[in-house]
Chains A and B, each alone.
Chain A
Amino acid sequence: GAGVSQSPSNKVTEKGKDVELRCDPISGHTALYWYRQSLGQGLEFLIYFQGNSAPDKSGLPSDRFSAERTGGSVSTLTIQRTQQEDSAVYLCASSLGRTENYGYTFGSGTRLTVV
């Protein structure tokens, strides 16, 4: 597609349930990032995939969060045993891999609400 696609656009889940968020990056983009945006807050880095390299997981807030990227394309962010503080907009971005030249292209995000 022409842009970064995220699904679902909205997700309401009960506390304690697991959720999976999906990101389809722009074709050919080797770098993929997940960020979290809480109400009135900036963008909090979660995880970064670059090609076949080991991902940078330094931003994941707890071991309940994990992400994978299959075939260097689609990525799934999984949150296990969701908590109310996990409620936020989860944004995925992709880039050609050289951030200083191309910047990120963001998707529209998945709004997660944990009730």
Chain B
Amino acid sequence: QQQVKQSPQSLIVQKGGISIINCAYENTAFDYFPWYQQFPGKGPALLIAIRPDVSEKKEGRFTISFNKSAKQFSLHIMDSQPGDSATYFCAASRTGNQFYFGTGTSLTVIP
């Protein structure tokens, strides 16, 4: 059973546009929701994370929007750049337990 569902599988965005990746979860006990960025040949790297007590978190061009009642959260990349081209994974965890990852979104930003 997929604990975290992620969409879309792939995404193509023009430079300067907004990239939006969505995730949904089922387990209401999850209390930590990170996003990871992975470049080819590298391990995933933590990008930004949110806890369910806030509805939005922004770090530079990256924003997480969190909807607790809908059990959904999304990553918004503003002013997308070619260097943002990577695979993005959402995840969810309950305190002290392992992360459950989405299946990933391959983002391509066209110059």
Contacts and interface: CB of A to CB of B under 8 A. Distances in A.
Interface of A: 4, 33, 35, 40-43, 45, 48, 50, 56, 59, 91, 93, 97-100, 103-109
A11 B108 CA distance: 29
A88 to B, nearest CB: 13
29 contacts: A35-B101, A41-B104, A42-B6, A42-B102, A42-B103, A43-B89, A43-B99, A45-B98, A45-B99, A45-B100, A50-B96, A59-B98, A91-B43, A97-B96, A98-B95, A98-B96, A99-B32, A99-B93, A99-B96, A100-B31, A100-B32, A100-B51, A103-B46, A104-B44, A104-B46, A106-B43, A107-B43, A108-B41, A108-B42
A107 B36 CA distance: 13
Chain B interface extent, by class: 20 to 34
